[in-house]
Amino acid sequence: MPLPRLACFAGRSVRSLEHALNMNAGNFPGEVAKRIDADVLAFEASKVTEASVVSTGTNGKTTTNNLIASCMERAGHDVFCNRAGSNLEAGIITALLDSRTAPFALLECDEMYTRFVTPKLKPKIFNLINLFEGDQIYRFGTMDRIYDAIAQALNDLPAASLIVVNGDDPNCQAVLERVTAPHPVISFGIKDAAPDDGADAFEGARCPVCGAELDEDDYHLRHYSQLGRWSCPSCKSAAPALDVIASNIREVPGGFLIDIAGSTEQLGGRDFAVSDVLVPCTGLYMVYNLLAVRIATALLGCPAKVFRDVVATFDPKNGRLQEYAVGGRAIMTNMAKNPVGFNQNIHMALKYPEPYAVAFLMDDMVECNGDYSWVDGIEFSMLHPAVEAGVPVFYGGEIADPLDRALSAAQITAERADTVADVLAKLADGGSRKLFVIANYHALERVCAELDRLQATTKQS
């Protein structure tokens, strides 16, 4: 048996065993295959008959990737996809282990691993959706390491590969400044003001051209964190013109309605327009995600109606914006792994029009090496009006002390609860309040497993 086929066979065998043991087959089957053949991913890429799409970025790559996959499946296509979020090279290998072929592979990839994955996959579309400093500094020391890694990945793409990039993010533009290979580029962003523009803290950014520090005064429109329309006072460079835009953003119960417009001459004048898209989330980050989804799916031949329908009814089933019902109580989970993510989730909860409670659960992030000072950047003070109005706030998990410190510093009264069951036991309201559970990546899997059990027990009783 040729080496790559042996590697795939071994990986599939390990994956089948993990499934039989009710284990999540994430990175390990791919790691086994990779140990047998270090280039097995290049072999697997041949199973994709039409196009691969790679999505990367700090926040939202799992949601973006899975929405693209759901759109293409609804349009009648078979796909490969690492839906569970295993986004290192081994996890991507696992997603492609099947012996079948498929026209499309929709794959999210960790930012630093893009330089290993893209030369083997040769994706036709590369999505760069955002880059936030809070999540990167404690992992890699400097943003420059991230810029260089992604730029290397883009330089290794085939010349015809399309780069789809967040034009409102100067950190993403810093990557493009380091790309020397010519590629077609589509920039997306938000036109005009949107609800809650600039409502959370400015994370800080540098001009991607000259490296000068940008501050809030250097934006004529800031949506959140460093995302918006900036201009550099030092070198006079500015945010790029946008090819595809979200506009006419209107708040509706539980989310937004948006219009998407734009066309690109370099792609034969292809039109990306679609109006009245229901965004089932009150965080502006989801609008950015959907712009990347619209561009990729349109280029892959997904009809606008399918895109609109899938987005409006999207059920992720991976803990991101996932809905549960336990004992008559509505519960929604979402992931946050940096201050920007936590802040956007807090914004989302604050907009809920009916009684609710919020729980922040965080387990050990080994890559932090015990340094959780970044938690102090979470704007828990935004919860003041809600707490004064009687909204209960809980915190807990393996790493509860930093949350306790930051909540106390913000003068937010919160109660310790390490599990969802603990939270539910302390909520003596008969299930009338919706519970928002905001968990970091390391806590989310066990939170969802706990909620699956609680929900199943409720249905049986």
- Helices 304-312 & 61-74 angle (0-180, nearest 10): 130
Q: Nearest-CA neighbor of 243 among 173, 294, 176, 189?
A: 189
Percent of the chain at pLDDT above 70? Answer: 97
- Token readout for 271 is 């039109």
170 touches 218 (CB < 8 A) = no
Flag whether pLDDT at 322 surpasses 70: yes
**What is the rounded CA–CA span in Å between residue 328 and residue 360?**
21
Name 188's bridge partners: 166, 244
CA atoms within 13 Å, Cβ hemisphere of 341: 27
At residue 268 the predicted structure's pLDDT band, cuts being 50, 70 and 90, is: low
DSSP symbol at 266: G
- Token readout for 207 is 């001009």
For the segment 377-405, the average pLDDT, to the nearest whole number, is 96
If one looks up domain 322-460 in CATH, what number appears?
A: 3.90.190.20
pLDDT at 266: 65
For the segment 415-426, the average pLDDT, to the nearest whole number, is 97
116 touches 89 (CB < 8 A) = yes
Rg (alpha carbons) of the chain, rounded to whole number: 22
Largest Cα–Cα distance in the chain?
68
To the nearest 10°, report the CA torsion of 199, 201, 56, 163: 70
Flag whether pLDDT at 406 surpasses 70: yes
For the segment 394-412, the average pLDDT, to the nearest whole number, is 96
- Token readout for 388 is 């004064």
Flag whether pLDDT at 127 surpasses 80: yes
Of 154-158, 159-163, 280-284, which gets the smallest average pLDDT? 280-284
In this predicted model, what pLDDT tens digit does every residue of 72-120 receive, in sequence order? 999 999 999 999 889 999 999 999 999 899 999 999 999 999 999 999 9
Domain range 39-312, CATH architecture:
3-Layer(aba) Sandwich (3.40)
**What is the rounded CA–CA span in Å between residue 118 and residue 55?**
11
Flag whether pLDDT at 449 surpasses 60: yes
Domain range annotation of the chain: 39-312, 322-460
Q: Nearest-CA neighbor of 190 among 224, 213, 158?
A: 224
Asked if domains 39-312 and 322-460 share a fold, the reply is no
At residue 64 the predicted structure's pLDDT band, cuts being 50, 70 and 90, is: very high
Dihedrals φ, ψ of 146, to 5°? -70, -45
Q: Nearest-CA neighbor of 130 among 169, 163, 162, 186?
A: 169
